[in-house]
Every structure is written in structure tokens, then in C-alpha cells.
Amino acid sequence: MRNRFFKGAFILTGFLLVAACSDKGKEIETKPVELPIIKGNEVEVGNKPLIEANYQHIVIKNVSYKLIHEKDSAIIRILDTEIFDINTPDFYKTAEYYEQIGDNKTASYYRHQKVYEKAVKKFSNIVEALATLPAKTSIEIQAHLHNMDAPSEKINEITEARAKKLLERFSNEEKLSHISFSAKSFGDTAPVYPNNDVEFRINNSRIDLVVTREK
């Protein structure tokens, strides 16, 4: 599954891939939209975080993602289409929803492919993986979308809505109550691959979960 996610990326040089995988120090044209920070529960005194965290244990079943390790943080990079309807701010809806609005073609496809059920399971698997993180973990949700056919204003609107929805969903998960969440919307300002290729644009449309430990 990971091979599908990164098909085509190996044509880049090692230097470009390493540089592109990190947003640190990268200037962007549009300032990201800052969203409210939701703090996790307090933990008992003496539970000191590691200076250099190890995130090797993070495994998300049946989800297309990449785990990028840095010195004391990690980026969980997930294709947006794993949980979001294509080029919309919405999570996948049921086939019945599309039937009710008269879109029988989409309803038939979603029912046949079990799109809604798969997306719900994938989100659940993401929650299960994040739940294994220790107390005093912070996660910044970063939403990105790259669609050449949509104006930047519309793209910014979609990524801001996605970031807010994920922030709310994660913050309402009891299993994740020990984690502090925040969120940013980047629109199309921070691609990790050149935007001149359809498959690269698909990989640029993503949700980055930046995981760090409080020091």
C-alpha cells in the first residue's frame, strides 16, 4: 500500500526528497491559518518526556501513509483521500446520502466500493495508532490540498475546514485525551513534490500529523 502512495517519488534526487519532507525553514507565500489549541489532560509529576522521541512503533493499519522521522519529532503523512471526499471539506458520506440528493451514480459507486465504511475504519485505525503515543505528546494537524482546477481561495477554504473538522474529531476521542492537539491550514502553499505532475499533486494533497513531545 505504501508503494502505491509513493509511486513516482523515487525519480527525485535524495537531496530534494529530504529537503521536501520537512517544512522547517520553508517560506510560504500565504501565512497558514492558525486554529485553536486543544490541550490534553494533565499527567502526574515525574513523567518526564524523552528529549529524543522514538516513533518507530507507530503503525496505522490499512491506511496509505508515510512516517517521516526527525530528531525529536515525526510526521505522519496521510493521503487526504483516505478519509476526505475528493476536493471537498467533508468526510466521506454514505451511499444513502448521495441517493437522497439525487446523485445515483455516486451512490451506486460508494455502495459497491464500500467507500464510507472503509473511510470510517481508516479513521478508527488512525485513532488507535495515535492512542499508543505517551502522555505529553503534542500533535499539530496540517491540512494541504493541491488542485490545479480550483482557485487558491477555494483551496484555502477547504483545507481550513478540514483542519477544523479533524481537530474537533480527534479532540472528542476519549482514547486521545492525553494528547494536545492544534491545527493549521496551508492551502496549496507547501507542496512536498513538484506540482507539475498529476501523481505528485495527489501526493501533495495530504494531512500531515506532526508529532512532538513536550520538553
Q: Would you tell me how many other CB atoms lie within 10 Å of the CB of residue 111?
A: 16
Predicted pLDDT at 152: 87
User: Does the pLDDT of residue 114 top 70, yes or no?
Assistant: yes
pLDDT digits (tens, 9 = 90+) for 17-27: 334 444 444 44
Helix, strand or coil, per DSSP, at residue 121 = helix
Q: What is the per-residue DSSP string for 143-163?
A: EE---TTS-HHHHHHHHHHHH
pLDDT digits (tens, 9 = 90+) for 54-95: 677 889 999 999 999 887 789 999 999 999 998 899 999 999
More confident residue, 86 or 107: 107
Predicted pLDDT at 40: 44
Q: Which of 84, 65, 48 is nearest to 5 (CA)?
A: 65
Average pLDDT, the chain: 80
Q: What is the CA radius of gyration of the chain?
A: 18
Note the pTM of the prediction, 2 decimals.
0.74
Cβ neighbours of residue 101 closer than 8 Å, sequence gap 6 or more = none
pLDDT band at 9 (very low <50, low <70, confident <90, very high): very low
pLDDT digits (tens, 9 = 90+) for 156-184: 999 999 999 999 999 999 999 999 999 99
